[in-house]
Amino acid sequence: MLKEREQWKSRLGFILAATGSAVGLGNVWRFPFVAGEQGGAAFLVIYLIAVAFIGYPLMVTEISIGRKTQRNPIGAFKALAPNTPWWIVGGVSVLAGFIILSYYSVIAGWSLAFIIESIAGFPEGIEATDQLFGGHKTGIAKPIFYHALFMVIVIGVISAGVVKGIQRVVQWLMPILVVLLLMVVVRSVTLPGASEGIAFLFRPDFSAVSWDTILSAVGQSFFTLSLGMGAIITYGSYLSAKENIPSSSVQVIGADTLIAIISGLAIFPAVFALGFAPDEGAGLVFVTLPAVFAEMPFGGGVGFLFFVLLSIAALTSAISLLEVVVSYFVDEKDWPRKKAAASIGIAAFFVGLLPVLGYSALDHIKFLGMDILDTYDFFADSIMLPLGGALTAAFAGHVWSTKSLMEEANKESKSFRIGSWVGPFLKYIIPIGIIIVMIAGIIEVL
């Protein structure tokens, strides 16, 4: 007998949950610094094109696969292509979800720790904040404690269920996140000298555009939208048949893009106004910004708000990562939800201990020069996500068929429909484009 499957209680519930999954470290930290490095507005234009022609079709495809099959990613591929090896694509998704969760929680733990540091007050000067972050990262007890704390919260939300857990949490946290972000923006753009930072983000510097810019824009477009690893398939599986998939997709993508741009407006004006460098990578958020907060008026409060909002963004993404794996064990192995959430979350915690210790006890372990956290990130983001996205697109175009996809996606939409142009995109342009990006990305690391 089929178990009654939970459904989002409203269309807004789904939109907020999917937006919560999408809006994460990718928006608040990654987008601003990549955009800055890759020519500001020039990058933005290419990124928007990638979002429209790769992100949008893939988002519609993943939601449709989920809703059609009402299954976790592995079960979904099994249902649409029985007795074929296509379920492996879902398997890669579930595995990627597990691995990303294990180190996403480590970074989120740093963010939780910095909420506390912001209350104590950040030290002045980049050397001091560099030492603060370095000291935290290379510790053992503290980073493990915050990693555990974050994972416990994620497990708690997922244990409570789709509606009582995920939907309730995102309905509270997403509006709070937007308000906090806007408060930080207001402080940032009103600092004397802020306009330079705004120009940095919006001035189209086409001379900075290279092959690498295109690769970064494509990579960013589906990492930021949580595509290529089944999170959106899973959330789509809880979507009611009444909802309009193409317009929901546009709303989620629009919100994610807007929050990425607003994050840039929160960060760069302050960084420039206080004379810091914008190209610190991972250090932008954990080293440069604390130094900025230490020196600006009301910086203590702004720093506190910033790390609260970063932690919220990470939480609403992490719950979607755990839900992918949990839905598999609930659907296919009949595990009770609570047991699945706790055991998988704890397992991810242990797998995440390696990247934590990669900065201390295990700091001699390097893969291609990368520490353990960067190695996890490389395998998940540069190999598994792109592979998952390319194969999902190819599957939808060639195996499930564009016709079935369009039927499911357009079921409830008379006016806002996805057109037949998605056919060639799913069959050829997206898979080939992603594979090129992936290979180029791998070559770059080697």
Residue 27 touches Na ion, criterion: CB under 5 A: yes
- Binding span for Na ion by CB under 5 A among 16-24, 127-135, 272-280, 396-404: 16-24
Q: Please report whether residue 392 would count as binding Na ion according to CB under 5 A.
A: no
Q: Residue 337: CA atoms inside 13 Å, Cβ hemisphere, count?
A: 18
Residue 275 burial by Cβ neighbours in a 10 Å radius (0-12, 13-18, 19+): exposed
Which of the choices Na ion, ligand PFF, none does residue 437 contact, using the CB cut-off of 5 to 8 A by kind?
none
Give ∠ CA 52-57-61 in degrees, rounded to 5: 155
Nearest residue to ligand PFF, scored by beta-carbon proximity: 26
Sign of the alpha-carbon torsion through 286, 35, 316, 102: negative
Identify the DSSP state of 370: B
Using the CB atoms, write b or e for 377-408: b if 16+ within 10 Å: bbbbbbebbbbbbbbbbbbbbeebebeebbeb
One-letter amino acid for residue 144 of the chain:
I
The one among 44, 321, 325, 406 contacting ligand PFF by CB under 6 A:
321
Longest dimension (CA), the chain: 65
Choose between 7 and 21: whose C-beta lies nearer to ligand PFF: 21
Structure tokens, 228: 């290529």
Cβ of residue 22: shortest distance to ligand PFF, in angstroms?
5
Which two structure tokens, joined as six digits, stand for 24? 């994460």
Q: Which is nearer to ligand PFF, 43 or 276 (CB)?
A: 43
- Contact predicate 266/188, CB 8 Å: yes
Residues numbered 185-244 forming contacts with Na ion, rule: CB under 5 A: 224
Residue 237 C-alpha from the chain's centroid: 19
Q: Using CB under 6 A, which of the segments 193-201, 317-325, 363-371, 396-404 binds ligand PFF?
A: 317-325
Q: Which of 16, 17, 18, 22 binds Na ion (CB under 5 A)?
A: 22
Instruction: Please give the residues from 8 up to 37 whose contact with ligand PFF meets the rule CB under 6 A.
Output: 21-22, 24-27
Q: How many angstroms separate the CA atoms of 345 and 214, rounded?
A: 35
* Contact flag: residue 320 with ligand PFF (CB under 6 A): yes
| Residues 201-260, interacting with ligand PFF (CB under 6 A) | 223-224, 226, 229, 231
Binding mask 291-320 for Na ion (x = CB under 5 A): ------------------------------
Nearest approach in angstroms of CB 112 to ligand PFF is 16
> How many residues bind ligand PFF, per CB under 6 A?
14
Shortest Cβ 232–Na ion spacing (Å): 12
- Note the Cα 397 to chain centre separation in Å: 25
Helix, strand and coil in the chain, % to nearest 5: 80, 0, 20
Place of tokens 């937006």: 19
Which of 13, 26, 236, 441 is the binder for Na ion (CB under 5 A)?
26
Which of 19-27, 116-124, 340-348, 355-363 is the region at the interface with Na ion (rule: CB under 5 A)? 19-27
Alpha-carbon distance of 74 to 386, in angstroms, equals 17
C-alpha distances out from residue 336 to 49, 237, 339, Å: 42, 18, 5
| Least distance to ligand PFF, CB of residue 227, Å | 7
Q: Of 289, 337, 331, which is closest to residue 133 (Cα–Cα)?
A: 289
Cβ closest to Na ion, residue 31 vs residue 114? 31
Of the pair 70, 226, the CB lying nearest Na ion is at 226
Residue 260 C-beta: closest distance to Na ion, Å: 7
Contact flag: residue 105 with ligand PFF (CB under 6 A): no
Question: By CB under 6 A, is residue 382 in contact with ligand PFF?
Answer: no
Q: What is the DSSP letter of 319?
A: H
Using CB under 5 A, list all residues that contact Na ion: 22, 26-27, 224, 256
Using CB under 6 A, list all residues that contact ligand PFF: 21-22, 24-27, 223-224, 226, 229, 231, 317, 320-321
